[in-house]
């Protein structure tokens, strides 16, 4: 059957939700791909003052994306830095924690479950007769202690996933990204990128890859992976003499923090299946057009997916899995930009510039 189907799967999973601070809609579609490898997370009430949204675009399989969708927000919440108010550190540690948790017997078992490798009749994983003790308490315990078992030396999955998440806490927006999924905010109709696509040919990525013993061929890490940062992909993280942030491929996220103001209308989180077809500004313009006549945000997302879907697989673009989350901020926010005060918008421009400058630093 190859990488593409003969006809695209256009059925969509869509969802809407809201609280007193924001409302959101999301939609995902398999499209022309033979399998669906995207996953997402939407928790408008992660806690009393915090919302969490994430898009995860898997490659080589769906399990790492699904693992992140299930556990990454939990690890942000459970990190001691989060309790101390340091959301940025909690986000960074949660990204690295995903790689740690996917190793060993317990990580293997969780990935097997998420990968649908359980025999539906026997309840056994891949025909392996073994019953985990205390499985019902897996989510409650946070130590992920070593477990004996046939896969206790499991080094982690060779497949991987991007992760692009947005955390909205009070009037602050934090965006953490590893890979080429993207977060964009619309301020007075202007699109501002709050994440950077981590491609191997970026200077800062290339330098790390080469220093770690890797190489770049045809725009791909070691000739195979077209991303420089991702969760999973353990084959690129085997150098025992280097910390996680200096491996050939790293889960280390770029983190951008901005203060929200009344000029901020909405943000979009989407995988590269969308950005391959539309620029950040084109998508913001399209969403603005749709919001004139459509109030249900998931329907706006569905229309973006339909617009991006290619009529055939001849060109490549518009043939990927697609996932999009649209978050609209309720008015008024606690902070406003007085008429003529451009400082807040300037900070967004500076945030974009900071991401771009890091490409060559």
CATH of the domain at 298: 3.60.40.10
In which domain, by residue range, is 231 found?
Answer: 4-61+160-357
Counted domains in the chain: 1
CA distance 77 to 142: 11
Residue 117 domain flag: no
The answer to whether residue 170 sits within a structural domain is yes
Q: Which segments of the chain have a pLDDT < 50?
A: 1-2, 120-122, 124, 126-141, 333-341, 360-361
- Cis bond upstream, residue 92 (ω within 30): no
Q: Nearest CA to 185 among 199, 202, 200, 164?
A: 164
Residue 107 lies in a domain: no
300 backbone dihedrals φ, ψ, rounded to 5°: -60, -45
123 assigned to some structural domain = no
- Provide the phi-psi class of 85: left if phi over 0, else alpha when psi is between -120 and 50, else beta: left
Under 8 Å between Cβ of 128 and 150: yes
Per residue in 165-220, pLDDT tens? Answer: 999 999 999 999 999 999 999 999 999 999 999 999 999 999 999 999 999 999 99
Does residue 84 fall inside a structural domain? no
Residue 57 lies in a domain: yes
Is 146 within a domain? no
pTM: 0.88
pLDDT of residue 343: 60
**Segment (H or E) for 105:** helix 104-114
């Amino acid at each position: 059957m190859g990488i593409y189907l003969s006809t695209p799967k256009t059925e969509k999973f869509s969802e809407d939700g809201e609280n007193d601070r924001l409302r959101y809609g999301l939609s995902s579609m398999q499209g022309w791909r033979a399998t669906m490898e995207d996953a997402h997370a939407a928790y408008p009430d992660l806690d009393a003052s915090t919302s969490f949204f994430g898009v995860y675009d898997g490659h080589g399989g769906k399990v790492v994306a699904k693992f992140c969708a299930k556990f990454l927000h939990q690890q942000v919440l459970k990190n001691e830095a989060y309790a101390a108010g340091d959301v940025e550190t909690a986000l960074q540690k949660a990204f690295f924690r995903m790689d740690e948790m996917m190793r060993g017997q317990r990580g293997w078992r969780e990935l097997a479950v998420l990968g649908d490798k359980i025999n539906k009749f026997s309840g056994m994983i891949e025909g392996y007769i073994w019953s985990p003790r205390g499985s019902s308490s897996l989510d409650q315990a946070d130590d992920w202690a070593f477990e004996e078992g046939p896969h206790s030396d499991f080094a982690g999955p060779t497949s991987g996933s991007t992760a692009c998440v947005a955390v909205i806490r009070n009037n602050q927006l934090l965006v953490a990204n590893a890979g080429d999924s993207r977060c964009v905010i619309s301020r007075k109709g202007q699109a501002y990128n709050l994440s950077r696509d981590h491609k191997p040919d970026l200077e800062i990525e290339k330098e790390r890859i080469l220093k770690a013993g890797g190489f770049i061929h045809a725009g791909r890490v070691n000739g195979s992976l077209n991303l420089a940062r991702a969760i999973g992909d353990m084959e690129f993280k085997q150098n025992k003499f280097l910390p996680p942030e200096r491996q050939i491929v790293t889960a280390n996220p770029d983190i951008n923090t901005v203060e929200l103001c009344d000029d901020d209308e909405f943000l979009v989180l989407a995988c590269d299946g969308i950005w391959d077809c539309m620029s950040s500004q084109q998508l913001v313009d399209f969403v603005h057009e749709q919001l004139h006549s459509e109030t249900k945000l998931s329907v706006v997302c569905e229309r973006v997916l339909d617009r991006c879907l290619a009529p055939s697989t001849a060109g490549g673009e518009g043939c990927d899995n697609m996932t999009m989350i649209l978050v609209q901020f309720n008015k008024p926010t606690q902070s406003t930009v007085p008429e003529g005060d451009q400082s807040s918008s300037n900070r967004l421009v500076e945030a974009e510039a900071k991401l771009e400058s890091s490409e060559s630093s």
